[in-house]
């Protein structure tokens, strides 16, 4: 009775081990190992080969029987196959079942530049860190920052670039734009677009363009016309697609575009 029970117990352990590996892979197979990452390597039924190792600057870990193993730049699944191949080809373990889990992620970092609270390089501490998560880590977009951010990186070995309207993720229910960021990504937040207003207004100068802003709202933001100005006496200077400056008389409900220049003329009466 002992032998069938031992076989059953071994099969049960194998199923548990395999399921745990699958659960991890679902959330982490897209994570690429980098220098500084701390990993735990387990070989089923070989406790002497269970180690925790930190990936070196050269992208390697030191592993029993195999010595230096290159894992930097590999996904967890690829790293498992790499070690399993070494154990099998070396004749150390006939059919190795290798499982690698991440204990600490340091090698996968994202650079955040531009108009944020704390620009810099930040580690991805979870397998599915999203754009809004990493922006929050950087202190969020500063008051002078644009609503849209640019994400540059690599996906599936190909260059990746995407411009994302951050408020639109929530205001327009575009949750699919809250993408999962990857190690090596660069996130850039440009300064917010502005318009310029001068002439007979209370507060001439440059002001941030808010979402959907009209000429009338731009006047309000500048304190409105002065005692000698009138909102009907407006001139707009805007550059066309060829970069030429075009002058016009805008309507109050016309939209404001980046770098528009509004002149409020003096009333003659």
Q: How many CB atoms lie within 10 A of CB 201?
A: 21
CATH of the domain at 175: 3.10.560.10
Same domain, 144 and 185: yes
Q: How many domains does the chain have?
A: 3
Same domain, 210 and 144: no
> Is 5 within a domain?
no
Q: Please list, in sequence order, all residues whose beta carbon lies within 8 angstroms of the beta carbon of residue 230, skipping any fewer than 6 positions away.
A: 200, 264, 265, 267
Same domain, 92 and 39: yes
Name the least confident of 9-13, 123-127, 243-247.
9-13
Q: Is the pLDDT of residue 216 over 90?
A: yes
Using the 3D structure, point to which of 74, 104, 134 is the last residue of a domain.
Answer: 104
Q: With residue 10 as reference, give the H or E element that holds it.
A: helix 2-28
pLDDT at 8: 46
As given in the structure block, the two tokens for residue 252 are 């109050």
> Is 160 within a domain?
yes
Using the 3D structure, point to which of 86, 104, 122 is the last residue of a domain.
Answer: 104
CATH of the domain at 76: 3.30.1950.10
Q: Is the pLDDT of residue 35 over 80?
A: no
Among 205, 189, 203, 111, which residue's Cα sits nearest to residue 144? 189
As given in the structure block, the two tokens for residue 155 are 């996906």
CA–CA separation, 9 and 216 (whole Å): 77
Burial of residue 2 (number of CB atoms within 10 Å: 0-12, 13-18, 19+): exposed
- The whole-model pTM stands at 0.63
> Is 9 within a domain?
no
pLDDT at 107: 65
Same domain, 21 and 95: yes
Show the domain range for 239: 194-266
In the structure, what pLDDT confidence band is assigned to residue 231 with cuts at 50, 70 and 90?
confident
Using the 3D structure, point to which of 168, 191, 214 is the last residue of a domain.
Answer: 191
In the structure, what pLDDT confidence band is assigned to residue 4 with cuts at 50, 70 and 90?
low
Among 148, 124, 157, which residue's Cα sits nearest to residue 138? 124
């Amino acid at each position: 009775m002992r032998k069938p029970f031992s076989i059953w117990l071994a099969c049960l352990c194998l199923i548990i081990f395999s399921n745990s590996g699958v659960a991890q892979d679902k959330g982490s197979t897209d994570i690429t190992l980098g220098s500084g990452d701390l990993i735990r390597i387990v070989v089923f039924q070989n406790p002497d080969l269970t180690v925790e190792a930190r990936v070196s600057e050269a992208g390697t870990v030191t592993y029993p029987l195999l010595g230096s193993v290159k894992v930097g730049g590999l996904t967890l699944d690829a790293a498992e196959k790499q070690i399993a191949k070494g154990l099998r080809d070396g004749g150390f373990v006939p059919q190795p079942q290798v499982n690698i889990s991440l204990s600490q992620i340091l090698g996968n970092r994202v650079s955040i530049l531009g108009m944020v609270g704390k620009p810099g390089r930040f580690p991805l501490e979870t397998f599915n860190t999203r754009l809004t998560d990493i922006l929050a880590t950087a202190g969020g977009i500063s008051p002078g920052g644009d609503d849209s951010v640019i994400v540059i990186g690599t996906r599936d070995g190909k260059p990746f670039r995407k411009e994302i309207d951050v408020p639109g993720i929530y205001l327009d229910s575009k949750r699919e734009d809250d993408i999962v960021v990857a190690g090596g990504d660069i996130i850039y937040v440009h300064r917010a677009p502005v318009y310029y207003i001068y002439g007979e207004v209370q507060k001439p100068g440059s002001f941030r363009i808010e979402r959907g802003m009209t000429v009338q709202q731009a006047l309000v933001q500048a304190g409105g016309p002065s005692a000698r100005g009138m909102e009907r006496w407006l001139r707009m200077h805007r550059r066309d697609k060829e970069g030429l400056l075009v002058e016009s008389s805008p309507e109050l409900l016309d939209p404001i575009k980046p770098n528009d220049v509004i002149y409020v003329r003096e009333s003659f009466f």
